[in-house]
């Protein structure tokens, strides 16, 4: 994740930030919980009231930790 570019996309007027943990069939690595936490911290430092939505579909099988323990409002889970 390119943390340095986040301030170029988020402002006080931004209403929702979307973080997708997995990249489907793409060859890029999955975003770790630590990376999500760091991104959320950067986003919150710019806009405290933004809604942060984390797509964690199929990410539940990747780690024992759950992103819901991190400071985001919405977590999308895939039902099995």
Question: Which residues, in sequence order, are bridge partners of residue 55?
Answer: 20, 76
Residues composing the chain: 80
Residue 29: give the domain boundaries: 3-76
| Cα–Cα distance for residue pair 44/60, rounded to 1 Å | 24
pLDDT at 2 over 80: yes
Q: Name the 3-class secondary structure at 38.
A: helix
* Tens of pLDDT, residues 7-57: 999 999 999 998 888 776 677 788 888 898 899 899 999 999 888 888 877
| Cα–Cα distance for residue pair 58/4, rounded to 1 Å | 27
> How many domains would you assign to the chain?
1
pTM score, two decimals? 0.73
């Amino acid at each position: 994740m390119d943390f340095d570019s986040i301030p170029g996309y988020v402002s006080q007027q931004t209403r929702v930030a979307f973080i997708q943990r997995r990249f489907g069939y793409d060859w890029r690595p999955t975003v770790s919980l630590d990376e999500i936490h760091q991104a959320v911290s950067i986003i919150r430092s710019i806009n405290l009231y933004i809604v942060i939505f984390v797509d964690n579909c199929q990410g539940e099988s990747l780690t024992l930790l759950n992103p819901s323990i991190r400071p985001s409002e919405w977590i999308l889970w895939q039902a099995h």
